[in-house]
Chains A and B, each alone.
Chain A
Amino acid sequence: MGWRGWILTLIIGSALLAAASAAESMEDYDDEEDEKLTRYPLMRVDFEGVKVPLIIAIWLVTASIAKIIFHHVPHLAEMFPDSSLLIMFGLIVGIILNLLNVDKNEFYLDNEVFMLYLLPPLVFDAGYFMPARQFFDNLGSILTFAMVGTTFNIVAIALSLWAVSLTGLFSIEMDVVQLLLFGSVAADVDPVAVIVIFEELGVNDVLFISVFGESLLNDGVSVVFYNIFKSFVEIGPENIITTDIVNGFFSYFIVCFGGLAVGLIFAAISAFITKYTQHVDILNPVFVLVIPYMAYLVGEMLSLSSIMAIVFCGAAMKMYVKENMPERSASAISYFIKVLSLSSETVIFVFLGLSTVSSDHHWDTSFIVLTVVFCFIYRTLGVVVLCHFLNKFRLQKFSKVDQFIMAYGGLRGAIAYGLAVALPNIPAKPMFVTSTIIIIYFTVFLQGMTLKPIAQFLQVEKKSEHEKNMTEYIYQELIDATMSGMEDIAGQKGHNWIRESFQSFNTKYIKKLLINKEALRNMDNTKIVRMYRRLQLQDAQDLVKGTGDFSKNQVFVNALIEHTRSRSNTVADSAAPYVINVKEVMEQHGIMDYDEMARLRGRTRSDPTTEARVKIVLPNGEHIV
């Protein structure tokens, strides 16, 4: 720590104070409007005008600073996941603000703000960086978990709670429909919480995509159930007729597939527009970021699943948009999507902590404990049963360890809270809110914290770090082609056939429509050619660095061949033995040895002053010193 730690503490302290005083002083300025000026003032303070953006900016910066500080405190970040630390921070700030008697409405996470502004960047990020291949390979199991699993959870939790409530154990009376409503809130596995924990954990792709895909898609399910039960509650359980139930059932499909359709349409629009932006490169980010957001808003407006809309928009447009943009803007946009999602994630967790202080509570121990227990039991049960069922059909089976991680990784988060807050005003609402918060805390803190050690103990297969090399690419393509060929022979229209035919359709029609001509021409160079170029580039850089084996270096060998060829033309009849001076070759072809230069300047390569100053940044973010 030392003095730096103190400085940081000081900064965060002052930022906090600033936030608090800003929030406080807001009220003071409310009623000073109509003062008649008599003298010309040297300076005035006009806080009211800039209140909204300033508060937002302060919150963002404070949350980011908090995050940085957590990483500067040793051992803290290793023990707790970021999400729990941020919630804790929010909790502390909330308590402080509460002690300062700040109006609760100032730091209350409005459901609308959360849904319209904080959530979209996060899920867009998830969609845009979704490992598409894995997702579609595991689509069956993901859909099973998301639809069947979630429905099972909702119904089971609600019915069990209802059964218990018949004994009169709970302090507030509720009927089945209200409990079903609560069940649809509590059963919702949260994409935000899952991403945060699982990205830190770095588990393998299959496991990650199963849990994460489920959490993304079950939003559709739980939101639909939530809406249905919400209107049931509003109608009153005694007035429900069959039409309602049938309507509800249909709206389930409409919501999911409507969201999907909206997402795909907007992805096509976005790709189509970026096709024409070669000369106004600067507008690319606008289209790449704004159009998915429009998809989200349209989904929300038509009460379709907006999360599905933006996720699929991001996932579908990436392939085309990336080709339409120059490399530089594509990487800048990727970077910025990450920044946006990280900052909104940070703010979400801080506000989750804050809202704990600011919302109304009703504490009912038995209800809360039972909810937590039921959530846990039914999640495990659901996962085990579904996995058993799925394993009959899958090539790559879910092992016991996988099943455990999947059950244990069912974290709840801010979406559940948002839904709970937006509940209609029924008597049990405060109790529902309180127990939702407790479930979130329980899962994020306890499960989130223990997940890492457990995963290490069980030796869960980790994500492979290295990028695929060319051989792997080739073999994968080969296997895919073989598989689809076999399916063809067997007369079966299976998974591989679908992929293969989609790919050919994609290259034949969709890409022609959505990708500009120049990029398309470049793209005809297949993966292998591109890979070859990249390796060649790598060679050239190695040559510049002066490291590596020259005999294997393509670039160098080419230069050598060039050299010998030109020399043999001129001095072919010379009797002297032919000597190739490596240094001479390099000089003649303008290849300079870095080491040599450094030595000539009287410095060695290990000199830190030169080392830090020379950086070549590769497109994939590598630095070559």
Chain B
Amino acid sequence: HLLILLLMFDDAYAAKAADSNESHLVGLNRSYAEEPTERVHVAELKWHSTSTAFIIVFWLFLACIAKLIFNRASSLTRIFPESSLLIAVGLAIGVLLEKTQVNKSIFTLDSHFFFLYLLPPIIFDAGYFMPNRALFKNWDSILLFSVVGTMFNALAIGFSLYLLSGVITFSHTFNMFEILQFSSLISAVDPVAVIAVFEEIRVNDFIFVNVFGEALFNDGITVVIYELFKQFSCIEEVKAIDFIAGAASFFVVSVGGLVVGILAAFLTAVFTKYSGHALILGPCFILLVPYMGYLAAETLSLSPIIAIAICGMSMKQYIKGNVSASAATSVKYFTKMLSSSSETVIFLFLGLSVVAKSVAIEWDLAFIGFTILLCIVIRTIGVIIQCAFLNRFRGKTFSMVDQFILCYGGLRGTIAFGLASSISSSVPAKDMFLTTTIAVIFFTVFLQGSTIRPLVNYLNVELKKSEEPTMAETVYNKYLDYIISGVEDIAGQKGHASLVHDFERLNNNFLCPILMKDHAKTRDFDATKIIRAYAKHTLRDAMSATKWYPQHKRVVAIQ
């Protein structure tokens, strides 16, 4: 522990040194610029031109080193989730920098920067590795949670706080639209925080997909309500037409995001299909076109998160057929790396920017306490009601434990912080809102994030299977799907399974020929898994036929 602390201080000092150097050097540079060069210098220092790139790279480096250290100190990570540790480091560095009077703009997380550069890799990664099958099986519950649940949360929290403000006097007054604006940002579950915590505890796909799907797709609704109330608080008189426009804009935002995402996926598939001769450019398209989709959605103020997630989900199948296997693995590897490093940077900066914003801290204990309480209570009520409703119609019902994890896993994160800092400064209670948002984030990430693992263990929540499904499982799954869709057919019902079946047929007959290279050869694409598995087994058998067992890493790589 001492070592960690030492290293942490070391890092902080390095950062401080870099920063103070900067201020010093900028001055130096300016003096250079003013007077013409008089003599030739043997060596000179030019910090000015490289500073931006260097600061970015340096932070990235620092964040990764911090992550590396946590990983080696396993006793620490067993108790706290990584996200909370990173926030703590961020806080520590922030305090140090604050003490050394470094310019604050260097270490504030600009919400613009966050939304344009840090968020997309994480969401893309999430979409690209989304268990598609589990997602489609649970689309009804995810949609309900993310649309109705989020809306219910936002409105309930908002109105309760508004009512409370009549009873208790908070340090700032606010009107209804302002508090609704706040409640809409505070009620949204954050995909980044959810991934960070849930990837560590590794619950089963069913719970993961429900919590994470909600977090991902509630972006459409959160952004809409947030913007809606933000505009309402500016507009002098609110007419009915505004409500209608708001409701319509919800569809525009989410469906528009969806369309942009699918379009980007389509383009990526087409580009990679023809990249045959310049094969090495394949990954370039796979990463850039979705990002362009994200930016396009952001430009048109559609939901960029939905766009890039959908893009990643839908292009995966076609991409894999188009690029070479080594390209596919390196893309996989790289998305993982990009997302994990930007996640690290996000949490680090969350801690830092709290310190940077600390001038504006408005500590209103009553408000914070009530907000946290309401967040928990209303989320619980919402989940229970919705689950009760859903359980009537579903084959796989939500058990009590599932419901508890659903409630408890509703973590808040950086998106809320970004939205909170973009509340217009004309709102008098802005600082109080910002402080409360920070408090809620810390509460959920620290307290809920670090207690969720023991709770999961205690409640015996089914964990994710670590091994891949065996061949028999794959075959039987497929078989079951066919049977169910057959049964639905006989019953004359257009249900879930027949929908999937129809889509697969459409995909195989129309989409794949357009989007995939050499589709004629891979027409019976379903067969591949079995044959691949077969080839793998024979190879392993051949290996074990000799006394030489696969110890060497090359062999491991192949298997």
Contact = CB atoms under 8 A, between A and B. Distances in A.
Contacts of A335: 280, 283, 326-327, 330
Interface in A228-286: 228, 231-232, 234-235, 243-245, 247-248, 250-251, 254-255, 258, 273, 276-277, 279-280, 282-286
B241 A328 contact: no
Interface string B392-426: 00000000000000000000000000000000000
A480 interface: no
Contacts of B557: 326-328, 619
Contacts of A559: 545-546
Contacts of A36: 234
Interface stretch (A149-157, A190-198, A353-361, A534-542): A534-542
B292 A555 contact: no
B521 A612 contact: yes
B5 to A, nearest CB: 18
Interface in A292-317: 293-294, 297-298, 300-304
Contacts of A54: 292, 295-296, 299
Interface string A331-348: 111011011001100100
A591 B281 contact: no
A294 B57 contact: yes
A68 to B, nearest CB: 5
Interface stretch (B141-149, B352-360, B430-438, B548-556): B548-556
Given A61-B292, A290-B60, A244 B40 contact: yes
B472 interface: no
B538 A544 contact: yes
Nearest to A558: B546
B49 A589 contact: no
A613 B522 contact: yes
A457 B246 CA distance: 72
B37 A39 contact: no
Given A282-B337, A559-B545, A258 B43 contact: yes
A50 interface: yes
B541 A39 contact: no
Tell me what chain B mostly uses at the interface: helix, strand, loop, or mixed.
Answer: helix
Contacts of B252: 42-43
B28 interface: no
A555 B546 contact: yes
A614 B326 contact: no
A77 B277 CA distance: 10
Contacts of B2: none
Interface in B314-337: 324-327, 329-330, 332-334, 336-337
B271 A68 contact: yes
Given A45-B300, A338-B280, A559-B546, A58 B521 contact: no
Contact of B54 (A243, A297, A544): A297
A37 interface: yes
A39 B271 contact: no
Interface string B525-559: 00110011001101101111111100011111110
Most chain-A CB neighbours within 10 Å: which of B278, B523, B539? B278
B552 A533 contact: yes
Most chain-A CB neighbours within 10 Å: which of B36, B275, B325, B546? B546
B43 A254 contact: yes
A339 B323 CA distance: 13
Contact of B299 (A8, A45, A232, A343): A45
Nearest to A245: B40
Contacts of B554: 327, 533-534, 537, 619
Contact of A234 (B37, B276, B285): B37
B8 interface: no
Given A67-B278, A243-B39, A283-B67, A537 B555 contact: yes
A116 B53 contact: yes
B489 interface: no
B341 interface: yes
Interface in A510-549: 522, 530, 533-534, 536-537, 540-541, 543-544
Contacts of A255: 43
Contacts of A592: 538, 541
Contact of B43 (A228, A302, A331, A617): A302
B363 interface: no
B318 to A, nearest CB: 16
A50 B544 contact: no
Nearest to A248: B40
A591 B538 contact: yes
Contacts of B556: 327
B545 A589 contact: yes
A621 interface: yes
Given A536-B546, A610-B531, A612-B521, A57 B288 contact: yes
A393 interface: no
B41 interface: yes
A328 B326 CA distance: 9
Interface in B27-78: 36-47, 49-50, 53-54, 57-58, 60-61, 64-65, 67-68, 71-72
Given A11-B270, A294-B57, A540-B542, A37 B234 contact: yes
Contacts of B326: 331-332, 335, 617, 621
A329 interface: yes
Sorting the interface of chain B by its residue count into under 10, 10 to 19, 20 to 34 or 35 or more gives 35 or more
A608 B271 CA distance: 25
Nearest to B282: A339
Contacts, number: 321
Contacts of B124: none
B528 A613 contact: yes
B361 to A, nearest CB: 28
Interface in A34-59: 36-47, 49-50, 53-54, 57-58
A243 B39 CA distance: 8
A537 B234 CA distance: 71
Contacts of B521: 608-609, 611-613
A131 to B, nearest CB: 19
B64 A609 contact: no
Nearest to A556: B545
B117 interface: yes
A186 to B, nearest CB: 22
Interface in A114-149: 116-117
A565 B40 CA distance: 82
Nearest to B25: A301
A24 to B, nearest CB: 15
A336 B283 contact: yes
A287 interface: yes
Nearest to A593: B538
B490 interface: no
Given A71-B278, A72-B274, A112 B541 contact: no
A64 B279 CA distance: 11
Given A68-B275, A279-B71, A613-B522, A554 B280 contact: no
Interface string B7-41: 00000000000000000000000000000111111
A46 B292 contact: no
Contacts of A555: 542-543, 545-546
A57 B337 contact: no
A53 B53 contact: no
Contact of A50 (B241, B270, B295, B531): B295
A61 B289 contact: yes
A537 B544 CA distance: 11
Given A327-B553, A335-B327, A116 B50 contact: yes
Given A71-B277, A71-B278, A328-B557, 14 more contacts: A36-B234, A40-B249, A68-B274, A68-B281, A235-B40, A283-B340, A294-B58, A339-B280, A342-B281, A533-B552, A555-B542, A609-B521, A612-B522, A616-B536
17 contacts: A8-B274, A39-B242, A43-B300, A46-B298, A57-B288, A68-B281, A71-B276, A245-B40, A247-B42, A298-B54, A301-B54, A327-B556, A336-B333, A541-B542, A544-B539, A591-B541, A613-B531
Top 5 A-B pairs, shortest CB-CB distance: A71-B277, A590-B541, A332-B330, A332-B333, A612-B521
